[in-house]
Amino acid sequence: MAEFTMELNDEQKEVRDWLHGFAADVIRPAAAEWDEREETPWPVIQEAAKVGIYSLDFYAQQYFDPTGLGIPMAMEELFWGDAGIALSIVGTGLAAVGVLANGTEEQIGTWIPQMYGDQNDVKVAAFCSSEPDAGSDVASMRTRAVYDEATDEWVLNGTKTWATNGGIANVHVVVAVVDPELGSKGHASFIVPPGTAGLSQGQKFKKHGIRASHTAEVVLDGVRVPGSCLLGGKEKLDERLARARERAKAGGGERVKNAAMATFEASRPAVGAMAVGTARAAYEVALDYATTRQQFGRPIIDNQGVAFQLADMRTQIDAARLLVWRASWMAVNGRPFTAAEGSMSKLFASETAKKVTGQAIQILGGNGYTREYPVERMHRDSAIYTIFEGTSEIQRLVIARTLAGMPIR
């Protein structure tokens, strides 16, 4: 087990500096353009693929970093560059984590490479869980998967929403209900291979922020996938469902973790790191502005009202990073989240990003409210962190129920 440390080793520092350089030289100069276009920045993704950032190998190296700091460090630097473009680069990772967390070795080896493509022909993947009537309330999911024993196929029907890369993805990972009587315990995840009939893109959303990231509905109309596309395999699913039914008959008992929840638990500290990156970017713009902007013959940072805001901003950013790093270290070293530390990190970091970016606008005054300065975009982007992969209200509920020793549904 790796010891928890706040000091990056030499290899991690080298990776951090490399990512920071890419964010500064490639992502930031393109940020305003792709925010205005509200389109997937394919050229930037391809550049990331060419240098090795957008690849299975890179994410595997960070994912299996024994300190747990590889992923949060990478997320912070990329999202420091720009949240919308960075999400387009890392969005495939959520689907990949879904396969890593729930799939067999054969499924991992078969499907994750197809999610990324190669540097000459980049692809993306989508993780499809939320529905029009089932966002935070995963137990209300309606998308059904029915097994056709005669053909050894699963038939999927339903509509997913808020899917990053939904409809444009080469590979879709879809969470569906296989046993409605078991609620969230009756869910399973499926791979929908490229070109599968019956899958189509529904509405593409025009968003307040992260506009360079494609978000859309995914419609599943009689989608048939081979039995081998059930993540983990049917034998494992049948065993899990049987245990859930027995516990239901017994009146409860040990909670059974479903596939979607496993994916979200693994990714929440990473979302916190994204928020830290955006907050840090806004803070740095505000600090630079405060030290160079002259009012009444002196820099505005000489005013306590500005200086104290910057002090609070930096303190909150550092605190958020420490919570994210702690949760990431705990996750990779198998430490249980006995106080919902993963949710804590995501909650505090996301709320910090909203607050800090708002303070940055205030420090820049009228300039901060215009698109001539990036803090306006950063503030719009920051709103998503308190919403996706569990709203702040849901994080507080998870934390409270964990502290009370109650099951998380």
Total count of residues recorded for the chain: 409
CB-CB contact of 191 with 145 (8 Å): no
Q: Is 38 a catalytic residue?
A: no
Three-state SS letters, the chain? CCCCCCCCCHHHHHHHHHHHHHHHHHHHHHHHHHHHHCCCCHHHHHHHHHHCCCCHHHHHHHHCCCCCCHHHHHHHHHHHHCHHHHHHHHCHHHHHHHHHHHCCHHHHHHHHHHHHEECCEECCEEEECCECCECCCHHHCCCEEEEECCCCEEEEEEEEEEEECCCCCCEEEEEEECCHHHHHHHEEEEEECCCCCCEEEEEECCCCCCCCCCEEEEEEEEEEEEHHHECCCHHHHHHHHHHHHHHHHCCCCCCCCCHHHHHHHHHHHHHHHHHHHHHHHHHHHHHHHHHHCEECCEEHHHCHHHHHHHHHHHHHHHHHHHHHHHHHHHHHCCCCCCCCHHHHHHHHHHHHHHHHHHHHHHHHHHHHHCCCCCHHHHHHHHHHHHCCCCCHHHHHHHHHHHHCCCCCC
Tokens of 201: 């893109």
Our CA dihedral for 221, 227, 232, 234, rounded to 10 degrees, sits at: 110
Rounded to an integer, what distance in angstroms lies between the CA atom of residue 368 and that of residue 289? Answer: 10
Tokens of 340: 């919902």
Q: Name the β-bridge partners of 216.
A: 163, 204
Comparing C-alpha atoms, which of 324, 329, 321 is closest to residue 279?
321
Q: Of 38, 181, 389, 393, which residue is the catalytic one?
A: 389
Q: Which residues are catalytic?
A: 389
